Amino acid sequence: MSRNNIMGEAAAVESGSERTRRLVHQGLARRRAAELRFRAYGIASISIGMLFLVILFSSIVSNGYTAFIQTELRLDVALDESIIIPDGKVSAEALAEADYSALLKQSLAELFPDVTDRQEKRSLYGFLSTSAVHILQETVEHDPSLIGQRISIKVPVKDDVDLFFKGRVDKAAAEEDRKLKDNQIVWLDTLKKDGRLTAGFNRAFFSSGDSREPEQAGIWGAVVGSALVLVITLALSLPLGMATAIYLEEFAPKNRWTDLIEVNINNLAAVPSIVFGLLGLAVFINFFGVPRSSPLVGGVVLALMTLPVIIIAGRSALQSVPPSIREAAWGMGASGLQTVFHHVFPLAIPGMMTGAIIGMSRALGESAPLLMIGMVAFIVDIPKDFLDPSTVLPVQIYLWADSPERGFVERTSAAIMVLLTFLVLMNGTAVYLRRRFERRW
């Protein structure tokens, strides 16, 4: 649209829509910049998060992967009859009581014949782990026909030798600051050159319980303890939590009492976990007399802690089911229970599973309440049932992190790796289950 001005020339004047278009255009650059900035913030946050994750994992793995390797020493042991069965008869007691340590010392002495000084001999024999004797004993007991022969067995070495072999000993440090002395290092180098010091898979880590000796310490006791505790936690908190959520959401009248209950449940979800430990100590152990340190009391304490999380997530999942589904079911003449279990609950399962995942992950990683009920004790045996004293993975990690021996440093990281794997497996299962139950409406 144009009008003639005073001079009679046509001048372009903006129409209303042209003006709008110009104004919108002017603002576009600023708006685009804001969008890009926001995206940049998002990418930056994710990157920082991932960076920290990578740093965390790489530090754990680099510290811990060597714990899965155990250095072994190959010895040629002469199974001297006169030492094992002095009276010539092969019997269970004789085999059990024989002086295997003398045989092992003898085989070491054979390797280094010029070591004669008593002090030096002691430091040579100190290479072997105290479990070497048991391994020799088991070998002989398994096949007594070997008595009188010369056999070659691999025995685990003590933790300082193990660390030396893995390269974690600082050779440059002064001798007084090291556990391994110079002469020992010379002997070890000889053994390594002879091919007698080899690295093997640390089976003991996955089959034995805790031990004072780092090379014999294993995670299995804690894994079994964690599994037992989690079984009880799941068995108690999941059905109870789901049923409570269903009742509060679908059946309970909406009055002041139910409001009070809801407020209290929300508060319980925020209570520090150690309080539940105190509760377990006071009520279950002192009053009901449940055995201390047992998975039973640990599981019950963690179930109490997990219940509020499951209830809250469950209620939220039930609320998100559209009311039209309920109306349809009621209109058909379905009773309250039928409506909930045939229609509402199946649609709410994914949300409930999310709550269960969050609750279980928290339960698996909790140590404070379990410390209160005694699971911090030094437990050597693998627990056999729900009433045996046991420990759990997070507590085991805490105990090992606290230990002075250098050998426990790598084992702490290895235990963390095991715990994280446990967690990932558990969450993976739950996510898979959630996806299977996912139904679109």
Between 289 and 333, name the residue whose CB sits nearer to other proteins.
333
- 261 lines the binding site for other proteins (CB under 8 A): no
Between 293 and 339, name the residue whose CB sits nearer to other proteins.
339
- 328 lines the binding site for other proteins (CB under 8 A): yes
Q: Which of 103, 133, 222, 347 binds other proteins (CB under 8 A)?
A: 347
- 219 lines the binding site for other proteins (CB under 8 A): no
Between 278 and 325, name the residue whose CB sits nearer to other proteins.
325
CA 45, 48, 50 angle in degrees (round to 5)?
105
Q: State the greatest distance between any 2 C-alpha atoms of the chain, in Å, as a whole number.
A: 137
Dihedral sign of CA atoms 264, 265, 266, 271 in order: positive
Between 111 and 261, name the residue whose CB sits nearer to other proteins.
261
Give CA–CA dist 346/326, Å, rounded. 12
- Where do the H-state alpha helices sit in 143-200? 159-165, 182-193
Q: Which of 254, 256, 270, 289 binds other proteins (CB under 8 A)?
A: 254
Helices 220-246 and 407-437, packing angle to 10 deg: 30
Interface mask (CB under 8 A) for other proteins, residues 224-253, using x and -?
Answer: -----------------------------x
- Where do the H-state alpha helices sit in 67-219? 81-84, 92-97, 100-111, 118-125, 131-142, 159-165, 182-193, 203-207
Between 142 and 440, name the residue whose CB sits nearer to other proteins.
440
- 333 lines the binding site for other proteins (CB under 8 A): yes
φ/ψ of residue 167, rounded to 5: 80, 20
- Look at the chain and count its residues: 441
- 256 lines the binding site for other proteins (CB under 8 A): no
Identify residues 199-218 at the interface with other proteins (CB under 8 A): none
Q: Which of 46, 332, 424, 425 binds other proteins (CB under 8 A)?
A: 332
Give CA–CA dist 66/203, Å, rounded. 13
Q: Which of 326, 362, 406, 434 binds other proteins (CB under 8 A)?
A: 326
Choices 82-90, 198-206, 295-303, 339-347 (CB under 8 A): range interacting with other proteins: 339-347
DSSP 309-348: HHHHHHHHHHHTS-HHHHHHHHHTT--HHHHIIIIIHHHH
Q: How far apart are the first and last CA of the chain?
A: 54
- 440 lines the binding site for other proteins (CB under 8 A): yes
The residue ranges that bind other proteins (CB under 8 A) are: 253-254, 324-335, 338, 342-343, 347, 439-441
